[in-house]
Amino acid sequence: MPGFVVDRYDAVAVLRTDGDAASARAGDLADALWPELKARGVSSLVHRTGDKGETPRIERIRGSDPPESTVVHEWGIPFVVDIARGQKTGAFLDQRENRRRVGELARGRRVLNLFSYAGGFSLHAALGGATHVTSVDVSAGAHSSAQASFRAAGVNPASHAFVTADVRAFLDGARQRGERWDLIISDPPSYAPSERSVPRALAAYRGLHRACVDVLEPNGLFCAASCSSHVDLVAFFATLDDVALGGRQMVVLECRGSGSDHPTLAAFPEGRYLKFVILADVGSGHASYPRSSS
């Protein structure tokens, strides 16, 4: 249903609405959902509001008051979810299957997770056998949640790196220092909040992707994501071609989106906003590429 998202974290369901029209109908949606949610063990339904850049606001609309944070399991891996202060509904559940895929690809690789937020890709990579994971985000608070998840999963955060920095500044410094990674994940916030902002967004993606492959090892893997609904897949691919990447020879191995718990309407392409493209550098021969075990 366009305009509404409900994500479940154990006994808490978090509603997000997109636009004033959807927000005005939040109560009607809650009336329809609450009996079904209660039957599935949900004890609290909250409405999360707040524009981008604002401190999120949580309004309890059905059931009991929610906890500020909770521990959930994703593919058997425990994650600490910050319900009170986290982005979106507390975590980005649309990336669940892509996080698992990164875990499958990470074995034996040095991994760089950019815009790492609460460390979902990082933890899957660490548990998947990465030799070392570097997580980069501008928010120290996000690293705190990530490190709590690492500990909950039995992984020592001190064995990996959590860098609080602007991603582009970090990449520029890494290139100058000659640092390289075997697997890089780039999952930035939306660069195109409106149709008018698309040209600027595409330029930002090109610059980011070029900076990423500049620190990618030969035969490495690059996972490039976009959550901008105004940037379609064809336009996103244009930010990943050989011209955009400075002549680096990369091939597309997989093009993924959100999981089956994010259904869309055929007539609503904006609902298929998430792009997750896995590329391999083949300039020095074919990269080692594990196939999915599913």
> Catalytic positions, please?
227
CB 175 within 8 A of CB 210: no
Instruction: State the Cα–Cα distance between residues 112 and 260, nearest whole angstrom.
Output: 27
In the numeric block, which tokens belong to residue 68?
Answer: 């500020």
CB 90 within 8 A of CB 81: yes
Instruction: State the Cα–Cα distance between residues 274 and 61, nearest whole angstrom.
Output: 29
Number of Cβ within a 10 Å radius of residue 30: 19
3-state class of 103 per DSSP? Answer: helix
In the numeric block, which tokens belong to residue 176?
Answer: 């100058």
Question: Count of alpha carbons within 13 Å of 122, Cβ hemisphere only?
Answer: 32
Q: For the CA atoms of 272, 97, 111, 136, what is the dihedral angle to 10 degrees?
A: 60
CB 3 within 8 A of CB 75: no
Q: Give the DSSP letter of residue 268.
A: -
